[in-house]
Structure 1
């Protein structure tokens, strides 16, 4: 008989063995002549030497997968135990340099364009990053991926995702009781991104325990946001007062990405976007970065890029016509 005491380091034993040892039971089924006993971060493997060594090797591979992919599904374990190593095809293949984080089911969430790669680099160098670009350039999705990576790497303790709820009539001084019901549809893109990047059970746990918070911008008032990765999305629909309120919430260990599209301002009346003003005022501060994405960064349907170009050209023509008309009047 042989006995091996394996110390599990760098991962949560619950993530490795599953709730109520559901994943460990797959090992027990694969090695019926081996006894597995889990105690905290220690796993005792008992049986014939040849069997215990094989079992130890499989456990070590599971730990490696969990460390690199931040997720270990039952399907991946079954593949591993059947002789197919998911690491060979997904983690050791070429082209992983641009992977930001591994999402649900081991999906590689990558920076797909040159500017998205630049966004990843700038986020490492700046505590506040303004990312401006048209719809479909992946600015929100990439920002959420960076936030999830920071959380999984334990660089922050929580993620806060927020948007102004212009369509729902948001006001800093007045919060109607059913505001959440009104603004949830406008927060949907943030939920969708999270759904791609975290298993359902873990996402529900994080949301329930406020490790991940998705809320309208008005809910940030009066708070100090520390040890958090914060994303302010659709910032073009913030007033100057709202942007200032948001930025002055940041605590010492906070990181922030602000995304927006200055061609889609929905503020009522003739209010000027606070995002534009913030860019003018703050972009020369050390630790504040800015990045402009273009139609070339669009990662949606191939026609979206052409549609954005046409509308941009039309906007330029209209602007030129207004300037010409004004000059004629003078």
Structure 2
């Protein structure tokens, strides 16, 4: 049997899946940011006429996944599997979206790394011959995440400077075994790394070691360097985590130069009072489904590594004094 595994953690696809289409839906704060014009739809407010933020998040994910199907003129009957995940307990945004879309459903939880995880798993299913078309979708919502993980949003508590702003957004991508579009050529599945960070207001520091480890292992497995990529984008390390990841890679002999950035750094600017930057499942999903894919299709970027970063804690584990495990999953997309 000819294994597609390369090195310790990387899978190279013999038949790289094609990204047929993508669609992104965001809240007003994201729409006002520097990438605002790259998103397909911007809501006027975070609740969009629904009875709760949680219902609104599910509706946002539905819009994104339906939008990806519509962009490719693909009916849901042509899709083999739906892969989706979010931040809420029991991934309810994805579960309720799957209830409406009514496709064979694989729910995923990788915290904020879920978009990269979904692209990796979907690509494996297609390359393995188990599916021809897969719909991947991921969402997060600032107010649902704050209510679950931190403090009541209405309380208006002072935020630490290392804290990040959970993105209100949903991104979706339609993968296919054939067609025209950027291709996912490899995936590096990360390991859980824990450097004993316990501060829930510093997610970047908790996730940075796992992201650095995945990037390092990817380069070792595939025998390439940062200069071989047009862009390396982590999911949501924010400014604090990005700096730490760069330092960890430098200590391991990897100089990322100017090729390494972060979706949480890109999505907001300094005038929006988000402190360390953006976070949440929706962060990397909307930046990838919007700005990054548009730049690939335009020829500005030819080879991109998206490294989803996730903090694998819960509100219960944090209250019990547990440290925050981190994860990083990488996928490589080429024009």
TM category, shorter: under 0.3
The structure whose Rg is larger is: 1
TM-score with structure 2 setting the length: 0.24
Bigger fraction of residues in strand = 2
> Which of structures 1 and 2 has the larger relative contact order (alpha carbons within 8 angstroms, sep 6+)?
2
Report which of the two has the higher share of helix: 1
